[in-house]
Amino acid sequence: MKSETRSSSAHLTGGEGPRRQFVNFSFGKLDREWRRLPREERDEHRREFREVLRHWSQPNTMKILTYCTIGIRGECDFLLWRICYSLDCLQEMAAHLARSPMGGYLT
């Protein structure tokens, strides 16, 4: 999965001073072998991948926006647009996704 991270300053409500936001765009492409798996197995992989996204998408921690790029871009199938306040959070989530069953099929 290819990834690009940028940072910017952002103000939060509630009287806190500015906090640095990290914005990451991760592009993923599934290996063709994944599409050859039985439908039930692919459905389970999708479910577990969604659970990882739900786990990390927490208010005041990380915002995740997902986009399908199938038919738009040949080099990737989806985009994860992640916004958070910690590089560690981005790295831990990337590791969690890579450990998921679908993660083994991402290039």
State the pLDDT at residue 11: 45
Q: What is the mean pLDDT of residues 88-93?
A: 95
Helices (H), 15-70: 32-35, 39-56
Q: What is the mean pLDDT of residues 74-101?
A: 95
pTM for the full model?
A: 0.77
User: Do residues 84 and 92 lie in contact, with contact meaning Cβ atoms separated by under 8 Å?
Assistant: no
Percent of the chain with pLDDT over 70: 85
The pairing of beta strand 62-68 with beta strand 78-84: antiparallel
